[in-house]
Amino acid sequence: MRILMVDDDEEILLVAAFALGQDPRFAAVFTAQGGASGLEVARTEAPELILTDFRMAGLDGLQLMKAIRTLPGMAMTPVIFCTGKRQPEFLRNCLEAGAAGIICKPFHPLTLADDVFRIVRDGNILVPERYGN
């Protein structure tokens, strides 16, 4: 599976590329810094799965998802939000807008790949924060 990770933060991209990159289930891991760059990579690489931050300067996660939906062949590509927001209303809005699921930030680098697959395969739409509070 070819996955694209979009985030404003270089540190997050780096750790995600590391965490996803070593999982053999992913044939390729693309990262893009910011929504605009994410859209561009989505267009050129046609990933099968997209993991994106919600709050980003310029194009935010929701806008990015809507833009990606208009790309040829990507109307159904699962988009997972990776966000620090916890408000139930916000989460519901994301899902209603068509997100495949939500992974709460801060994510755990060693469970990120499994969490992504849990959403895609099991339809488990909300992965709570992995570090008890």
Q: Does 13 help bind another protein (rule: CB under 8 A)?
A: yes
Is 81 a binder of another protein (CB under 8 A)?
A: no
In this structure, the dihedral spanned by the alpha carbons of residues 116, 122, 125 and 129, taken in order and rounded to 10 degrees, is -50
Which lies closer to another protein via its Cβ, residue 123 or residue 132? 132
Selected binder of another protein within 46, 48, 69, 109 (CB under 8 A) = 109
Q: List, in order, residues 6 or more apart from 34 with CB less than 8 Å away.
A: 6, 8, 56, 57, 58, 59
Binders of another protein among 19-58, rule CB under 8 A?
21-24, 26-33, 37, 40-41, 45, 53, 55
Shortest distance in whole angstroms from residue 128 CB to another protein: 13
- Residue 41 Cβ vs another protein, minimum distance, rounded to whole Å: 7
Nearer to another protein, 57 or 96 (CB): 57
Q: Single out the residue of 84, 92, 93, 124 in contact with another protein (rule: CB under 8 A).
A: 84
Query: For binding to another protein (CB under 8 A), which residues are involved?
Result: 8-9, 11-15, 17-18, 21-24, 26-33, 37, 40-41, 45, 53, 55, 84, 105-110, 129, 131
